[in-house]
Amino acid sequence: DAGVIQSPRHEVTEMGQEVTLRCKPISGHDYLFWYRQTMMRGLELLIYFNNNVPIDDSGMPEDRFSAKMPNASFSTLKIQPSEPRDSAVYFCASSKQGFANEKLFFGSGTQLSVL
Q: What's the min distance (Å) between Cβ of 74 and other proteins?
A: 18
| CA nearest neighbour of 93 among 80, 82, 77 | 77
Q: Check: CB of residue 35 under 8 Å from CB of residue 104.
A: no
Binding site for other proteins (CB under 8 A): 4, 31, 33, 41-43, 45, 48, 50, 55-56, 91, 93, 95, 98-109
Instruction: Please say which residue, 30 or 64, places its beta carbon nearer to other proteins.
Output: 30
Buried b / exposed e along 12-43 (16+ C-beta atoms within 10 A): ebeeeeebebbbbbbeebbbbbbbbeeeeeee
Alpha carbon distance 83, 28 (integer Å): 35
Instruction: Please say which residue, 20 or 50, places its beta carbon nearer to other proteins.
Output: 50
Instruction: Please say which residue, 3 or 16, places its beta carbon nearer to other proteins.
Output: 3
Instruction: Please say which residue, 83 or 102, places its beta carbon nearer to other proteins.
Output: 102
Q: What's the min distance (Å) between Cβ of 55 and other proteins?
A: 6
Q: What's the min distance (Å) between Cβ of 47 and other proteins?
A: 10
